[in-house]
Amino acid sequence: MKHTIEVNGIKLYAFHGCLPEEERIGGNYVVDVMLNTDFSEAALHDTLHQTIDYVDVNRIVTEEMALRSKLIEHVGQRIVNRLRSELVGITHLKVKVTKLTPPINGDVNNVAIVIEETI
């Protein structure tokens, strides 16, 4: 059986980017996390400890986004690494980091990276 937990639209203000202005001014980001796991027992017994706690997912994302990186690829990989090492029962995960209104020469709403891994 395949079960999926999604924590979508985690809105954060962070200071990622290669430009000096990005380090000083910062910008808005949105992170989406999808985790495949087996939460049959949690669903059957209504117990939090038998599934993945959304609070832990949000905490990990928030902590990693607070650490400055030049590249969202780097921060995205750090988020994946922490989710994989700290949460039990994940069989597959997907993390999307979106940078809103990036400072590039053009009219662009956002740029994003997606990292997907099977464990």
CB 94 within 8 A of CB 115: yes
Q: What is the pLDDT of residues 40-66, one digit of tens each?
A: 999 999 999 999 999 999 999 999 999
Which residue is catalytic, options 11, 94, 96, 99? 99
Mean pLDDT of 96-105: 94
Domain chopping of the chain, boundaries = 3-118
Q: For 15-91, where are the E strands, in sequence order? A: 27-37
Closest among 108, 112, 119, 88 to 32, alpha carbons compared: 112
Read off the pLDDT band of 2 (50, 70, 90): confident
Q: What is the pTM of this model?
A: 0.95
- CATH topology (fold) of 3-118: GTP Cyclohydrolase I, domain 2 (3.30.1130)
Residue 99 designated active-site? yes
Chain-centroid distance, C-alpha 34: 8
